Every structure is written in C-alpha cells, then in structure tokens.
Amino acid sequence: MSEPKPTYRHDYRPPAYRVTHVGLTFELYPAATLVKASLQLERNPECELDEPLELDGEQLILKSIAIDGQPLAGDEYTLGESGLTVHRPPQRFRLDTEVEIAPKENTALEGLYLSNGMYCTQCEAEGFRRITYYPDRPDVMATFSTTVIGDRGSLPVLLSNGNPVERGELPGGRHFVTWDDPFPKPSYLFALVAGDLQKVEDRFTTMSGREVTLQIWVEEENLGKTDHAMASLKRSMQWDEETYGREYDLDLFMIVAVNDFNMGAMENKGLNIFNSAAVLTHPHTATDATFQRVEGIVAHEYFHNWSGNRVTCRDWFQLSLKEGFTVFRDQCFSADVNSAPVKRIEDVAFFRTAQFAEDAGPTSHPVRPDHYIEIGNFYTLTIYEKGAEVVRMLCNLVGWEAFRRGSDLYFERFDGQAVTIEDFVACMAEASGQDLSQFMHWYSQAGTPEIDAYGEYDYAHAEYHLTLRQRTPATPGQSEKQPLHIPIRMGLVGTKTGRDLPLMLNGESLGSDGVIHLREEEQTYVFTDVSEAPIPSLLRGFSAPVQLRFPYAREDLAFLLANDSDGFNRWDAGQRLAMLALDDLIAAHRNGVEKVMDPRVVEAFRALLERGGDDKAVLAEMLTLPSEAYIAEQQPLVDVEAIHAARDFVKQSLAATLRDDFLRLYEENVSDAPYAPEPEQIAQRSLKNVALSYLMAIEDEQAIELARRQFEADHNMTDVRHALTLLTHSSRDDLATPALRAFGEKWAHDSLVMDQWFTIQVTRPQPDALDRVKHLMAHPAFSLKNPNKVRALVGAFANQNRINFHRADGEGYRLLSDVVIELNRLNPEIAARLVTPLTRWQRFDESRQALMKGELERIRAEKLSPNVYEVIEKALA
Ligand code: ARG
Ligand code: ZN
C-alpha cells in the first residue's frame, strides 16, 4: 500500500475555481442514495487559463457528469481514488454530477450515514467529499439549496441548513422538502437529517427584535430530555448578544440528537447535530457533570455561528482560529452562569492532565500545526484547549475592552470570509495598539513551557527578588524553541498578615494582584517596599498554560491553602501540598518502606473542614486529591502501582483521621429538595459526595450504609451514580453485584444510562476489571459501531483504570490493540483516538515499554487507515 502523504501549511494556494451556488438533490435510500449536485463555478481571476478543476470525492459512484448541460466525454475528465479532475473547463459554468452512495455501509460516520434508521451527516473536516464531488476545502464558500426526498412513512422529517422553502408529495409514498441557506458557507458546514423525529419548540427574540424559532429534534422516547438544552440555548443566545454583541442571523435554529456520532456535536449552519450524550438530560438519567457539559456544548456550537461560520478558516491548519476562540467563549459563558472559580479549577485540572500529556508525547503539535496526514487526527486538546488558553492570554494581555474591540473588528472585517490566525491576532494588535509579534510563538511552538521560579526576601532593603527562567522542551520536529511572552499573574502574600502586599515593580504599582511579563529566557523582578516576608502566589488563575515550579516548603503551601486571596491558587496550593506527600509515599512504596502519612497534609485538610464559610463548590475541589493520571503526569517515570497505592493510602489516612468531620460534612449536605441543575445544589451534592468517597475509603459499616441508602433513595442520577460507583469500586462484591444488577435492569432501555453502567464497572480497581471488559463487550447493549459505547467501555478502561490497563502481563494493552485493529476498519477516526494510551509508552518502565511497543507493531502490521497510520508512525518514530 502506498503511504499516505502529508499536507503542508506552506503549500496553501487559493482555489482555482470558486463555487457561487450549489443545488443538491438527495434521493434517500439506505443502500443506494442518489445525490445530484449542480455547482455554479467561476475561475479565480488570478489563476492560469488552463488551470484544471480539481474536485474531491471518495467512495462515490459517478453516474453522470455534464458542463452547462453537455455530458463530458471520457477524455475531458479524469476519475481517481480521491477525486475528479475536469481538464479544460470554461471560465464560468454549471457542473452537474450524479453520484450514488451507500449510507447503510458507512460505519466511519463521516459523510452521510444511518443512525438508528435516521439519516444524518458529519462533514467537518472532510466528510462532504463522501457525499458528492466538490472542492471540499473551507475557503470555498457558496450558498446552498438542498432538496431532500425520502419515504413519507419512515422519514416524515427532512431537514437541511437554512429555511424550508418548499415541500410536497411525490409518487410511491415519497415526499420532499427544499431548504435554502442564504449565507455562503464552506462544505464542512453542510448538514442533512431525515428520520422519524419529534420536535420541541421555543422562541427567542434577538436584541434587534427579530423572532427566532428554536427546535430540538429527537426520537420520540427522548422528548422529556430536552428542557435543559433548550434553556442552555436561550441563555447562550442572550449571553453572546450581551458579551460579544453577536446576534443570530436566520429565522430558525435547529438541534438534532443522534445516537451514533464521533464527537460531541457539530455547528452546521442553522442545523446543529449533537451526539445524544451531549444534549439529552433528565434528573434521573444525567449527572450534574452531564448537565454542565450539555450546557457548555450547546453554547459552544451556538457560538460557532459567528466564530466559525460567519467567519471561518482559510485552511485546516487554522482550525484553532475557530475552536480555540469558541472554547474560550464557552468557558467564559459557563463561568458566568455557574461557579467561576470551580469552572476554572475543573478546566485547568483537566488541561494539566490531558493536554500536558499530549504535548509531552509523540503526537505533540503546535496550536497551528505545520503539516498533517489526516486532519481528523487534529481535533485535539492542543487545538481546542491550548488554543483557548492562548486566546485567554491574549484577552488578559490587551484587557477585556480592547479584546472586545478586536473581536468586533474581526467579525466586521472578515464577515463571510475564510481567514487565518494571523488575521485574528492582527485585529487584537490593532485594537489594543500592542505589539503581539513575540506572542505569535504560542501558535507555532509545541510543547509545554516550563518555568523555574526562585525568590528571596531581602529584609534589609524590604525587597523581594523573583527570578523566572523559561524553557520549552524539544518536541517532534522542533528542537529549537524561542522564548515566549508569558503573562504571570501573581501576588505576594504577607506571612504575618496573610494579605496580599502591594506590588511595586521598578517604581510602578501593579496593585496587589498584578501581572508580570516574562519575555526573556531568564528575568529577575525586584519588588520594592515589601514590608514583610512574603510567600509568592504565582500563576494565579493559571494565567498561562505552563508548568511552573517553585521550591515551596510544605508549610508555605499550607499557608497559601489557608490564605491566598486567589481561589484558584488556594486550590493549587492544596494540590501541590498533596503532591509532595504523594511523592514521598510513591518512593516509600517503591522502596518497600512503611508508608507514613504527612501530618501537615492532615492538618491542612482538617483546617479546611473546620473553617467553614468557604464556597462549597470550591471546598469540594480543594478536598479532592489529584487524580492518578495527574500524579503520573508529574513523575519522571510512571510507576502505576506505586501511584495507585500512594493515593489510596492518602485517602484512607485522611478518612481515618478525619472521619467525623467527613461524616458531619455528609450529613450537613444531604437534601431532599427536588433536583435542579443549579450552582448551589450542585455544590452541595459534590461536597456531600466527596465526603462519602472518603468515608467509603475505609469501608466501615456506617459508610457502607450511607452509600447503600443513597443508591436506594434514587433521588437523582448524580447521587445514584456516585453511590453505585463507590459500591462497585469497593472491595465488597456482595455490595457491588446486587446494585449493578438492579441498576442494569432498571435502565436496560436507556442507552445513555447503560453507557454509565459500563463505565462504572470497567473502572473498578479490582483485578477482574479486564475480564469484565471482555465480558461486557458481548453484552447486547454494547456495539463496536457506536462510538459512545466504545468510549464508555474500552475508552474508560484504558484511560480511567490505570492500575488494570497497565497490568504487568500486558493483557490490557492487548485488549486495546485488538479493538483498535477492528475499529481501524469500521471507524478510523475513533480507532486513531482510542490508541492514544499506547502511544505514551516512553513514560513507563522497560518491560511495559516493550509490551506497549509490541502492540503498536502488531497494529502497524495491519492494512491501516490514514488516521491510524499517522498516529502509529509518530508513536514508533
Ligand atoms: N467543529 C466541531 C466542534 O468543535 C467538531 C467537529 C469534529 N469533526 C471531526 N471530524 N473530528 O464542535
Ligand atoms: Zn467547536
């Protein structure tokens, strides 16, 4: 097989032909759908006269092709594996093609496919080429008019982008609807849905007084699960008007829920398509975390209408232009409507675990990559989350007012265009008058910058000297790195008063919570008039996506945990303190020495539990230990067993010593108020459930009784799921087995709840987890063709059950690679994602390295999709 070839950013050339209008007609049949496309084309005036017309097309059966009504002769075009070339087209013409496709056979879930008898599409990034021959690139923008024809009985609902303009009956029990989308758009935003769907409808009046109809389309049994998504949509629309001055532009906005979907959701113009897991909620089937995730994703897709659709990307190297900005926007929205500090803590905890790992591994890439083989592999934490951190830094650097002016300028200047990251940053530079040239390195350099900080208090001169040194490690293809412009928000916390001291730097006052700018490799900052010895609180709010080290004493961290005025850094001080204790325990475990709990950690936790008055949501975060994955990320070499044992030991020690406090905390936060996904209730539930986790760590009778009662009370899914997880993850199969059975029987009809049932079982720490995975893969509710099922079972096992996935005998690795090999044929995009944990082999001991590499080699020996090929080649490079 010929090796897939990379695409390079520097090879970008504008399209030779522009499409001004597209007319599409779909005759829907499962095995043979007929797609007629009528493209209005024009040669780009800058291009050569004999420039051929290149159209992308994959897995299409061409039935006819004509220019301006004249069928093309065989020598006028060339048909290949990946497209079609028309050799000497006129300057301005109409191209008509007819192709046949087979939605029923489409298990990759890109292009047009069938999910539960319902037709739907996923075109981003390059799925439209599986629907028809087209210049499938985001810088070709056209208006679309789409006629969908289907069986009236089984497909009563026929949807596409824009507004419905005509509908009618056809012979043979068929009917049609024609949709017009007046906004020029790239093909990746095309969407079609046809099925037996029901809708929930609402209205929104925009700031200029236009009425918009809002619809959420679902299968009938899900009609009761749309309230939260609808409320989230209306809040998002209002927030984008108030915060960014952005108004919705069509008369109709639709969301459709589908069961088989590779990602969370997709922002198709006027017709967002959602993974049902990312839109459906009910107090009895979804947890608080799911309610919040749905709210965030609904907002994200809605916000794309401006940051993505009205202004889109010139090419896929610019993906973070729309994704980084839109994630930043959805994070700010969620912070505004929920607890802002908790939102930041959750996002950063996730970022430092998962994005740091990606950036340190073989698939590390810049926020704006230079090349790719398969763009589907680049919907990554780096493009999305690091991209959002970079936009957040920009916003903080120029200040909100200038950022908003820059955003207005960007939307105004580039409306209806496909642009680049430079265009975006240039608007921010223009609006703020700042020079952002050094800042651009954030987009081009991969790897997590490391900052070593060192500070000294000079009593005699009342000065504090802070030295920062930055270094970005080499990443694949980038050995040399330039110093970055890194904004560091900080305070100096007085050790006597516990208050932030005024910051005086070079005679300039930065207030008590200020930002210093690190631009050189090393810089020393001299703060003057520092009246007492301070402890520095650095990188407040995680002001830059870096790894910052400072030689804190444990007492200093306990002090910051108690006193820092920045809620985020209080939490972070607690995490750092726990990490120091965990490091000792990991070493003790490795050396076979008896483990001793650091009393300073116990006292710091006791103080948290006793002090009261804290925001409950933040307190719950502060009481949560770093995850095994995060601990692993902080170790030079990952010792899976030692990490697991050390973390368990800390949990049990804290639980044993502070048992009564946790019990009191639990009881204080029990409530039988009717469930609402509101901040105060969510905070209460998470605090109560953190307490229950500690109590269950020692598995005494009282804790077991509480967990069992919470499970049986069946008050809401957050509490039920947490209790079931604790019972299932306990050492007591007599508790786990009946609870799992009851839950599984009760929810056998609900696919999204069954996903949770799978995850709970395969993440248990007991050594039978791997056998359970195998066993559950044969369960009737499981299917390799459904990405949610794969993620809930195999993905959860490989990513959330470290102790069992990394079994010393390599059986966990073998199981994963077996699934990857099968999925490589069925769904390459999901296969390429699923293999990720194996690509991190460098982080483990030699024996595990050999086992993991052995599995990667075994995968490499298969006939691979470009997706899996690219990841495997990088992992074994
Ligand atoms: N643009 C979508 C979103 O961020 C995700 C599309 C993912 N597509 C893909 N082929 N992975 O909401
Ligand atoms: Zn997005």
In the structure encoding, which two tokens stand for residue 99, read together?
């192709």
* Nearest listed ligand to the Cα of residue 127: 1
Going by CA atoms, what residue is nearest to atom 5 of ligand 1?
266
201 vs 215: CA distance, rounded Å: 5
Q: Measured in angstroms, how far is the CA atom of residue 122 from the centroid of ligand 1? A: 9
Which CA distances in Å does 777 have to 780, 815, 854?
8, 11, 24
Closest residue CA from atom 3 of ligand 1:
266
Q: List C-alpha distances in Å: 37 to 21, 145, 817.
A: 10, 10, 41
**Cβ atoms of 150 and 174 closer than 8 Å:** yes
Looking at the chain, the whole-number percentage of residues with pLDDT higher than 90 is: 99
What's the mean pLDDT in 364-369? 98
Determine the atom of ligand 1 nearest the C-alpha atom of 110. Answer: 10
pLDDT at 1 over 60: no
Per the structure block, which two tokens stand in for 850?
């050999």
End-to-end, the C-alpha distance of the chain in Å comes to 19
Q: 568: closest CA among 351, 326, 323?
A: 351
Please give the full DSSP string across 784-849, using - where no structure is assigned: TT-HHHHIIIIIHHHHH-HHHHT-TTSHHHHHHHHHHHHHHHH-HHHHHHHTHHHHTGGGS-HHHH
Q: Give the DSSP H/E element, type plus range, for residue 470.
A: strand 463-471
Q: Which amino acid is at 47?
A: C
Q: At what angle do helices 319-337 and 288-303 cross, to 10 degrees?
A: 130
CA dist 633 and 273 (Å) reads: 35
Task: Take residue 211 and report the two structure tokens written for it.
Answer: 């009425």
Ligand lying nearest the CA atom of residue 265: 1
SS3 511: coil
Å from CA of 836 to ligand 1 middle: 18
Helix %, strand %, coil % for the chain, to 5?
45, 20, 30
Give the nearest ligand 1 atom to 379 CA. Answer: 11
Q: CA 391, CA 421: separation in Å to the nearest integer?
A: 11
Q: Is 323 in the pocket of ligand 1 (CB under 6 A)?
A: yes
Q: What does the alpha-carbon distance between residue 294 and residue 681 come to, in Å, rounded to a whole number? A: 17
Quote the ligand 2 centre to 588 CA distance (angstroms).
45
Instruction: DSSP for 242-292, please give it.
Output: HHH-----SSEEEEEEES--SSSEE--TTEEEEEGGGT---TTT--HHHHH
Amino acid at 765: P
Which of 190, 379, 384, 834 to probe ligand 1 with, by most ligand atoms within 8 A of CB? Answer: 379
Which of 201, 192, 188, 225 lies closest to 115, judged by CA? 192
201-254 confidence digits (pLDDT tens): 999 999 999 999 999 999 999 999 999 999 999 999 999 999 999 999 999 999
Q: Rounded to the nearest whole angstrom, what is the distance from the C-alpha of residue 262 to the centroid of ligand 1?
A: 9
Amino acid letter at 473? Answer: P
Please tell me the distance from the alpha carbon of residue 470 to that of residue 798, in angstroms, as a whole number.
Answer: 34
Q: What is the pLDDT of residues 616-662, one digit of tens each?
A: 999 999 999 999 999 999 999 999 999 999 999 999 999 999 999 99
* Distance between CA atoms of residues 515 and 528, nearest Å: 16
Is the CB of 124 within 6 Å of ligand 1? yes
* Closest among 469, 475, 421 to 446, alpha carbons compared: 475
- Separation of 559 CA from ligand 1 center, angstroms? 43
465 CA to centre of own chain? 39
Q: Is 480 a catalytic residue?
A: no
Ligand 1 proximity of 388 Cβ (cutoff 6 Å): no
Pocket of ligand 1, candidates 109, 122, 123, 124: which has the most ligand atoms within 8 Å of its Cβ, to mutate?
A: 124
Q: In the structure, what pLDDT confidence band is assigned to residue 612 with cuts at 50, 70 and 90?
A: confident
Q: Helix, strand, or coil here: 308? A: coil
Q: Tell me, using a 6 A CB cutoff, whether residue 273 lines ligand 1.
A: no
Distance 265 CA to ligand 1 centre (A): 7
The two tokens of residue 820 are 């990857």
If one residue of 262, 266, 273 were mutated to test the ligand 1 pocket, choosing by the most ligand atoms within 8 A of its CB, it would be: 266
547 CB-contact burial (10 Å; exposed 0-12 / middle 13-18 / buried 19+): middle
Ligand 1 lined by 279 (C-beta under 6 Å): no
**Closest ligand 1 atom number to CA of residue 384:** 4
Atom 1, ligand 1: which residue's CA is nearest? Answer: 266
Task: Tell me the CA–centroid distance for residue 456 and ligand 2, in Å.
Answer: 44
**Any atom of ligand 1 within 6 Å of the Cβ of 266:** yes
**19-54 burial string, b = 16+ CB within 10 Å, else e?**
beebbbbbbbbeeebbbbbebbbebeeeeeeeeebb
For residue 107, is pLDDT > 90? yes
| 649 within 8 A of 688, measured Cβ to Cβ | no
Give 386 Cα–ligand 2 centroid separation in angstroms: 13
Q: Which two tokens stand for residue 846?
A: 């030699």
Distance of alpha carbon 109 from its chain centroid, rounded?
19
* Candidate from 263, 321, 378 with most ligand 1 atoms within 8 A of CB, to mutate: 263
Q: Measure 304 CA to ligand 2 centroid, in angstroms.
A: 7
Cα-to-chain-centroid distance, residue 192: 24
* Whole-number pLDDT of residue 293: 98
Q: Is residue 265 within 6 Å of ligand 1 at its C-beta?
A: yes
Rounded Cα distance, 836 and 831, in Å: 9
Ligand 1 atom, smallest distance to 265 CA: 12
Please determine, for residue 49, whether its predicted confidence score (pLDDT) is greater than 90.
no
Q: How confident is the model at residue 510 (pLDDT cuts 50, 70, 90)?
A: very high
Nearest of 205, 110, 109, 192 to residue 145 by alpha carbon? 192
Fill in the DSSP letter of residue 605: H
pLDDT for res 152: 98
pLDDT of residue 176: 99
Reported as a single tens digit per residue, the pLDDT across 691-710 is: 999 999 999 999 999 999 99
pLDDT digit string (tens) for 162-175? Answer: 999 999 999 999 99
CA 672 to chain centre: 33
Query: Per-residue pLDDT for 32 more than 70?
Result: yes
DSSP string, 24-65: EEEE--SS-EEEEEEEEEEE-TTS-TTPPEEEE-SS-EEEEE
SS3 673: coil
319 CB within 6 A, ligand 1: no
Nearest residue to 484 via CA among 450, 520, 522, 436: 520
346 pocket-lining for ligand 1 (C-beta < 6 Å): no
The residue type at 291: F
277 neighbors 189 (Cβ within 8 angstroms): no
Output DSSP code: residue 491. Answer: E
- Spatial distance between the Cα atoms of 306 and 330, rounded to a whole number of angstroms: 13
Cα of 327 to ligand 2 centre, how many Å? 7
In 3-state terms, what secondary structure has residue 498?
coil
| Ligand 1 proximity of 301 Cβ (cutoff 6 Å) | yes
Confidence grade of residue 197 (pLDDT, cut at 50, 70, 90): very high
pLDDT digits (tens, 9 = 90+) for 476-508: 999 999 999 999 999 999 999 999 999 999 999
pLDDT tens digit sequence for 559-578: 999 999 999 999 999 999 99
Query: Please, are residues 331 and 384 in contact by the beta-carbon 8 Å criterion?
Result: no
Residue nearest to atom 12 of ligand 1 (CA): 266
pLDDT for the residue numbered 50? 85
- Ion ligand 2 contact residues with beta carbon within 5 A: 323, 326
Q: Which residue CA neighbors atom 2 of ligand 1 most closely?
A: 266
Pairwise CA distance, residues 271 & 120, whole Å: 11
| 539 vs 549: CA distance, rounded Å | 10
If you average pLDDT over every residue of the chain, what do you get? 98
Residue 781, token pair as written in the block? 């509710």
Which atom of ligand 1 sits closest to the CA of residue 125?
A: 10
Task: Tell me, letter by letter, the H, E, C secondary structure of 185-204.
Answer: ECHHHCCEEEECCEEEEEEE
Asked whether 101 lines ligand 1 (CB < 6 A), one says: no
- Would the pLDDT of 444 be above 90? yes
d(CA 330, ligand 1 centre) in Å: 15
Other C-beta atoms closer than 10 Å to the C-beta of 646 total 24
Q: Which pLDDT score is estimated for 3?
A: 86
- φ/ψ of 20, rounded to 5, equals -95, -35
Rounded distance between C-alpha atoms, residue 167 and residue 209, angstroms = 28
For residue 47, the model assigns a pLDDT of 85
Ligand nearest to the CA of 380: 1
| Ligand nearest to the backbone CA of 124 | 1
Q: How far is CA 350 from CA 292, 353, 355, 682, in A?
A: 15, 5, 8, 19
Which residue is catalytic, options 301, 358, 385, 855? 301
Phi–psi pair at 513, nearest 5 degrees: -135, 100
Q: Is 330 in the pocket of ligand 1 (CB under 6 A)?
A: no
Establish whether residue 598 lines the binding site of ligand 1, counting it when its CB lies within 6 angstroms of any ligand atom: no
Q: What atom in ligand 1 is closest to the CA of residue 263? A: 7
Q: What percent of the chain is predicted at pLDDT more than 70?
A: 100
CA 345 – ligand 2 centroid, Å: 21
CA distance 244 to 265: 22
**260 Cβ below 6 A of ligand 1:** no
Nearest protein Cα to ligand 1, atom 8:
124
DSSP state of 760: H
- C-alpha span between 414 and 50 (Å, rounded): 30
Q: Could you tell me the CA-to-CA distances from 261 to 290, 799, 866 in Å, in that order?
A: 17, 20, 20
